Amino acid sequence: MIILKFGGTSVGKPERLRKVGDLVLKTPGKKMVVLSALSGTTNTLVAIGDHLLAGRRAEAETEIVRLENHYQAYARDLFHSSEYHAIGQDIVSRYFSLIRLLAAGHFDDRSYRELLAQGELASTEFFYYHLRERGIDCRLLPALHFMSIDENQEPELEKISERLRALLPSMAKQEILITQGYICRNHRNEIDNLKRGGSDYTASLIGAAIQAEEVQIWTDIDGMHNNDPRVVKHTVPIAELTFDEASELAYFGAKILHPSTIVPAQKRGVPVRLKNTLAEEAPGTLISDRGTSGTVKAIAAKDGIIAINIKSSRMLLAYGFLREVFEVFERYKTPIDMISTSEVAVSVTIDDDRNLDAIVADLQRFGAITAERNQSIICVVGNKLAEREGVLNEVFGSLGTVPVRMVSFGGSLNNISILVDAGQKERALRLLNRGLFHLED
């Protein structure tokens, strides 16, 4: 089986959804289609949820009406026959009745997560009935029947695998199965999600769970580019990446993939292919365990980073000090991205600021603590990069006078991470594009 995931822009307009139908039909063999919500929907649902949590009911209703009008127009355009027009209008009225029911009741975190799930539930229904109108036999397989996360919000791959293996035999007749990206159930059996951009993660989890032949992520760009195309004008697609390279790029900000997408696919050795819905003939990017060594493949940047510096004379010639420091971060379930140490100081970076004040207070017992917000990690990625002669020279030579706050090198063979002030990020990405790839910025 092949897993085909289509993102928000690929399903955002009726003509695009029809194109997705064509692409799915062209793909030979059995396939599971994973869909995101129509583009803009999840952002609007977030806005509605925020209004409702803050008690701004009128503002929430304005957004609901706007979204409903958009969905009505979408349904009118998508379907052709009067029978399917009625089905389309029924889909829209059912979803918006539910959204209004959620908005009218006591609105809490649980209702918020249920609200966020409506985007993927609606888009998959549109696609299912669109294929039915074309006379195609297909099945809708609800993600809420098999996709789950545990109390630490980690997907339960074994359980997902068991449930899918139990469900699939009843769908042996259909070549096309359709399911929702992003949404899942949590350990309390409530509706939850895999965080923003999570449909990629769904596709990879399903691919790993059923040991698919391949996971294809179809989006609005022709594969992973060598640099962030939202910042740098001249970027080029990369034909092949190893799982490790792609994983680092996704984790360090290449928005084309949800940060955790590669993990399950890599665990089960399922190749991931990135393709462009708007240019299907473009080769895209193949992510697998094959790789070439020693070349710089790409650069990504992750924003919203906080650098914490701990200056302590206790560190001098002492052992066990770093363990105690790390225990503080563990207590607050806050992952550390970069670390750099000297004899009397250690700097770490985090991107989750929810417990920042408590962490800083807890660290005070070690010495003088500073926390600097608005930092960005720039990550230079390539297979066995650390073995490339003169690689640091190339990186720092390219960066010229950009002030570098921290460097991490050697921890992973595949990555050189540099911390800069957020205000320097764009300049750094452009300089690296020239210096490392000889491309214009």
Please report, as ranges, the residues that interact with ligand ASP according to CB under 6 A. Answer: 7-8, 36-37, 42, 119, 181-182, 196-199
Query: Which residue has tokens 């089986």?
Result: 1
CA distance from start to end of the chain: 41
Each residue 72-101 as x (binds ligand ADP by CB under 6 A) or -, in order, gives: ------------------------------
Tokens of 120: 């993927």
Q: How do strand 183-185 and strand 345-350 relate by DSSP bridges?
A: unpaired
Q: Report 164-223 residues binding Mg ion (CB under 5 A).
A: 197
**Closer CB to ligand ADP, residue 49 or residue 259?**
259
Q: Which does 432 bind (CB under 5 to 8 A by kind): ligand ASP, Mg ion, ligand ADP, none?
A: none
**Closer CB to ligand ASP, residue 123 or residue 235?**
123
Each residue 25-64 as x (binds ligand ADP by CB under 6 A) or -, in order, gives: -----------x----------------------------
Within a 10 A sphere around the Cβ of 150, how many other Cβ atoms?
Answer: 11
Does position 426 bind ligand ADP by CB under 6 A? no
Q: According to the 3-state scheme, what is the secondary structure of 199-248?
A: HHHHHHHHHHHCCCCEEEEEECCCCCECCCCCCCCCCCECCEEEHHHHHH
- Min CB(37)–ligand ASP separation in Å: 4
Does position 325 bind ligand ADP by CB under 6 A? no
Using alpha carbons, list the distances in angstroms from residue 294 to 288, 378, 384, 408: 17, 19, 5, 18
Backbone dihedral region of 108: left (phi > 0), alpha (psi from -120 to 50 degrees) or beta? beta
CA 430 – CA 342 distance, rounded (Å) = 30
Using alpha carbons, list the distances in angstroms from residue 381 to 43, 94, 218, 419: 31, 47, 23, 15
Does position 215 bind ligand ADP by CB under 6 A? no
Q: Which stretch binds ligand ADP (CB under 6 A): 2-10, 70-78, 362-370, 415-423?
A: 2-10
Q: Which does 37 bind (CB under 5 to 8 A by kind): Mg ion, ligand ADP, ligand ASP, none?
A: ligand ASP
- Site residues, Mg ion (CB under 5 A): 7, 197
Interaction site with ligand ADP (CB under 6 A): 7-10, 36, 197, 219-221, 224-225, 228-230, 254-256, 300
